[in-house]
Amino acid sequence: MPIDRETIRRRKRIARLVLGLVVLALVIGASAVMTLMRSSDRMIADRLSRAIEGIEERTGFEIDYQDFQLEMTHMASLFGLRVTTPGATGEPFAFVDRVDVEFELTPVGDIPVKLNRVRLRGASMNVVLDEDGRPNLPTQALALLDDDAKTASADDESPAGDLKGGLKADLKKNPNAAKALVRKAMAALLGLEIVLEDGRVNLVDRHFARRPPGRLSAKDIRGKLFVDLLGKKISADAKGELADQGGGFDVNLTASSAQQWIELTGRDLSLAPADPYLPEGVRVGPQSRLQGSVSLSRTSGSKTLPIKFDGTLRDLEVENRRLASQPVRDVTVRAKGRLTADLAERRFVLSRTQVFLGPATMTFSGRLDMPEGAKPFFELTAMTDHLPLQDALDALPRDFAPVLQGAVVEGEMDGRFDVALDFAKPSEARFNPQLEVRDLRVITPPPRANITKLNGPFRHTIRKNGKVVKTITVGPEDPDFVRYEDLGENIIGAVLTCEDGGFFRHHGFSLKHIRDSIRTNLRNERFVRGASTLSMQTTKNLWLSHEKTLSRKFQEMLLTWWMEEEIPKKRILEIYMNIIEWGPEIYGIGPAARHYFGKKPKDLSPLQAAFLGSIISNPVKFHDRFYKRGYTGNWGSMLQFILSKMAGRGTISHEIVDWCEPFEVVFSKDGKPAPGGCKKPEEDEAGPDGETPGGAFDEEDVPKGISPDFAPLDPVVKSLMKKATPTPTPAPVPTPPPLDMIDTSGL
């Protein structure tokens, strides 16, 4: 059925009406959207202005920006952001050409509460301290530190306080400590000059580092930041590179009111930036690198801060005159373990920590207490089990133990080292090393220290101050060599009394002397006393220099232990007496007895032997002081002290001490025998001038009832014990004068 004209006209009118309504709706909708967008821009801009005003009022900074834009992609941008300090001249405190913030809107309110990314373009910041140590911060900003500290310590339920102070749960007992810690942390931060420019972060520390100042420059810093304002959580994941020294770093952070965690990872970092923070005189080589990670985690309410670490120092080069006379190079060491810090108690506990040095592994545990207002307490335990001896030798850096290089050994060892130092009570210091060696067998001795040759005659080159003085033969081929049997009991007793009273009792080391040395040095807060035994002095004179380094001391201890395993005690003492210095270019007891007194060693009187024993610690000085002048003066009180100790040990009788008074030594000037100075009231079987015939000792003949402090199992005289007549109770041993009798060459 055909449509009539009226129907067509009616339908056209309806279509035009509908189209008009659609257009009207679109116009109204577009207008509404534009209105909403303009309103949103104005609303967010208004909120931003109010937020900036609040920050300005709270901190004292002045903040302005050139323009603000809000895009439909949930991004807001600020242009030309400037942060200035009122009254400051010059560059602003901080400037950012453009700040881009990506966010997500939540259905609660109309504020962005989740930040997906914040990007700074053309950012720069400069934080410095003036000459008086005041940072370029407004007064309100500095006062804000006080407020944050109080909030962190006083407001138990404040997540903000927990995040800002970080230690409020730890420090309830001492709220002021929280404030002090926050201020110290901020002082450390403000002690840095921080400049952000051209994609780099430059840190310059002029206050905490040694001169020159510490410098660190990082570049290509990039990553992600997530902030949940409603959930009060923040997380970050960033990477960066060091601009000048090479290497990179990663930072991972998660923090909330319930838990805080951060992990720092270093990738092939140079140790050069650490150089300004090392102790004076310590240097690390430019090729030294660090690889590893450290993580810190803390749960709200916990009083401790666990720190896990695993790091490797590679190609380490250390230079320090106390460590070794030359730089120690090519060291690789790894440390893996756990450190727990209790900042409220100022206590640090090391546990489950392994140190890998070459093929050797040691386990460490310990504690350091640093109570406020008191001296620290330190204890450390190091252990190793079933360590192959060859691995122990191979672990030693070549530059640290050059004399031991080339040795090939078999066997294994268990070791434990305990030390405890209370700096408030140095006399109670604990030092307890333990070592058990099993199945030791030397396949190849070190070429520079062949201990096995000591059992027979050998050539010994004497060096002083790095120069060769002379070469001698330690054996009967040398006319100046004196056999053990020909030394005489007087000189043996005097030397052991002065240098090592426990020589025939110990196995190379005197723990008593080591403990006493540690306590004395701690009490005086400097090195004043060593703990070298006669065996240690022998190894030092044979193969090592007299430098006071850990390198020399360490090698000395290992060589001494080895020598004590291989060489009889009598032979060690015989070598010692024939190689040590007794005066300028006077080496060996034979030339010494002849030079000073015109006698053989076995013919020395007790007084003469006591004098020779007393000068071993500094023979050249005492030679010039006494021999050149021809008399000993007030040194007689020292000789009386030595003779009294010899009598107490049974080396001589107590009558001889009285016979030697007034303890004046007479030297030989024309090669003729000098009088012994120990004249008897009447001649008897002891011989003229109170001198007893020399004879061999037997270390099995130990006098009874002798104080262990001064009675070695040295061979003091079965014959003398038989000949000595009963005597009245001896007079008290005189107190020695304040003169240095003991060898303090030490470390």
Half-sphere CA count of 546, side-chain side, radius 13 A: 16
Instruction: Count other Cβ atoms within 10 Å, centred on residue 54.
Output: 10
- Res 724 pLDDT > 60: no
Structure tokens given for 39: 């309103």
Q: Identify the band that residue 298 occupies on the pLDDT scale cut at 50, 70 and 90.
A: confident
CB 394 within 8 A of CB 359: yes
pLDDT at position 58 is 73
Counted residue by residue, the chain has a size of 747
Q: How far is CA 80 from CA 44, 97, 195, 270, 271, in A?
A: 18, 5, 18, 36, 38
- The dihedrals phi and psi of 56, each to the nearest 5 degrees, come to -60, -45
pLDDT at position 553 is 86
pLDDT at position 141 is 66
Nearest-angstrom CA–CA distance, 616 and 167:
59
Mean pLDDT taken over the chain: 75
Between 672 and 598, the more confident residue is 598
Mean pLDDT of 392-406: 92
Nearest-angstrom CA–CA distance, 189 and 215:
14
CB 654 within 8 A of CB 729: no
- The dihedrals phi and psi of 324, each to the nearest 5 degrees, come to -160, 160
13's CB contacts (< 8 A; 6+ apart) are none
What percent of the chain lies above the pLDDT cut of 70? 67
- Long-range CB contacts for residues 213-217, cutoff 8 Å, separation at least 24: 213/276, 214/273, 214/276, 214/277, 215/273, 216/242, 216/273, 217/242, 217/243, 217/244
- Res 607 pLDDT > 90: yes
Nearest-angstrom CA–CA distance, 202 and 243:
9
Residue type, 357: L
683-713 pLDDT, tens digit each: 443 344 434 333 333 333 323 222 233 333 2
CB 121 within 8 A of CB 133: no
Structure tokens given for 562: 């080895």
- Res 268 pLDDT > 50: yes
Between 5 and 424, the more confident residue is 424
Torsion, Cα 687 689 690 692, to 10 degrees, reads: -50
Is residue 279 reached through a cis peptide bond, with omega within 30 degrees of 0 on the bond before it?
no
Nearest-angstrom CA–CA distance, 166 and 171:
10
pLDDT at position 196 is 61
- Res 179 pLDDT > 60: no
- Res 40 pLDDT > 90: no
Torsion, Cα 717 720 724 730, to 10 degrees, reads: -40
Mean pLDDT of 135-142: 66
Q: Identify the band that residue 732 occupies on the pLDDT scale cut at 50, 70 and 90.
A: very low
Nearest-angstrom CA–CA distance, 69 and 619:
87
- Res 429 pLDDT > 50: yes
pLDDT at position 175 is 47
CB 417 within 8 A of CB 381: yes
Mean pLDDT of 505-525: 60
- The dihedrals phi and psi of 290, each to the nearest 5 degrees, come to -125, 135
527-574 pLDDT, tens digit each: 444 557 899 999 999 998 888 888 988 898 889 888 988 899 999 999
Is residue 662 reached through a cis peptide bond, with omega within 30 degrees of 0 on the bond before it?
yes
Nearest-angstrom CA–CA distance, 421 and 87:
54
- The dihedrals phi and psi of 311, each to the nearest 5 degrees, come to -140, 155
pLDDT at position 122 is 67
- The dihedrals phi and psi of 608, each to the nearest 5 degrees, come to -65, -40
Beta strands in 445-511 (DSSP E): 458-464, 467-474
271-291 pLDDT, tens digit each: 888 888 888 788 888 889 999
Nearest-angstrom CA–CA distance, 98 and 81:
7
Q: What is the pTM of this model?
A: 0.67
pLDDT at position 215 is 81
Which range in 9-23, 501-515, 658-672 is most confidently predicted, on average pLDDT?
658-672
501-512 pLDDT, tens digit each: 889 888 776 556
- Res 445 pLDDT > 70: yes
Nearest-angstrom CA–CA distance, 143 and 136:
13
162's CB contacts (< 8 A; 6+ apart) are 152, 168, 169, 257, 300
Torsion, Cα 412 413 414 415, to 10 degrees, reads: -150
Half-sphere CA count of 678, side-chain side, radius 13 A: 27
Helix (H) or strand (E) run with residue 241 in it: strand 233-242
pLDDT at position 741 is 32
Q: Identify the band that residue 100 occupies on the pLDDT scale cut at 50, 70 and 90.
A: confident
pLDDT at position 168 is 38
CB 657 within 8 A of CB 603: no
Structure tokens given for 513: 């002397």
Between 344 and 737, the more confident residue is 344
pLDDT at position 575 is 96
Mean pLDDT of 388-412: 92
pLDDT at position 635 is 92
CA angle, 130 then 133 then 134, to 5°: 70
Domain 452-504+568-723 class in CATH: mainly alpha
Nearest-angstrom CA–CA distance, 17 and 317:
90
pLDDT at position 6 is 72
pLDDT at position 466 is 77
Q: Identify the band that residue 176 occupies on the pLDDT scale cut at 50, 70 and 90.
A: low
Residue type, 499: E
pLDDT at position 334 is 95
pLDDT at position 72 is 56
CB 356 within 8 A of CB 317: no
pLDDT at position 193 is 66
Nearest-angstrom CA–CA distance, 674 and 680:
16
What percent of the chain lies above the pLDDT cut of 90? 32
Between 109 and 300, the more confident residue is 300
Nearest Cα neighbor of 663 from 720, 613, 606, 621 is: 606
CB 60 within 8 A of CB 147: no
Q: How far is CA 498 from CA 531, 585, 612, 710, 711, in A?
A: 13, 22, 10, 10, 12
338-397 pLDDT, tens digit each: 999 987 888 999 998 999 998 999 999 999 998 888 889 999 999 999 999 999 999 999
CA 427 to chain centroid: 22
